[in-house]
Amino acid sequence: MDTVLDFIFPLIPALLVFVTAYIFFNNMRKDQRDFQTAQIKIELLKQSLPLQLKAYERLTIMLERITPSNLVMRINRGSMNGSQLQLELLKAIREEYEHNISMQVYVSDGAWEMTRIAKEETLQLIKIAATKVGPEGSSMQLSKEIFDLENKTGNSAIKQAIKALRNEARGKMMQS
């Protein structure tokens, strides 16, 4: 029995050292994995944040470009009649939207939905103005009617969408 005890007693400290080392190195590996995961997240944020901010910027520019008054000033030529102007305005809005449609990947669903609604309301405003002027109206009459309707509505959908995009962009910058 003494021989067995003589053999076991020296093993106890070695076993304690082994268990302590195992726990220590296991925790160290876990900390290393957590650190690497954090580093990967930081790197992804560094890469995606500029893309997201660019998307907010591009969508804001799109909304400014489809603001009815800006659109009319850019598209209207004196030689157009009202119907031609209407078609060109609607075409320009759709092209702007289609050109920036991929930006929805980088913004929240809510911000993208507000952007889409702003586009749809702008299309509707132009269609309503064209209905009031009639197919025989001039481009100047249509322009005036668009400006009047824009003043009445105040571009609320566009303003709300731009505000949402700004708030999200600020939030992203604060997170980084």
pLDDT in tens, 4-38: 767 777 777 878 878 888 888 888 888 788 788 77
Contact indicator for 68, 155 with CB cutoff of 8 Å: yes
Give tens-digit pLDDT for 110-169. 999 999 999 999 999 999 999 999 988 999 999 999 999 999 988 889 999 999 999 999
pTM here is 0.75
Give tens-digit pLDDT for 32-74. 887 887 787 777 777 788 899 999 999 999 999 999 999 999 9
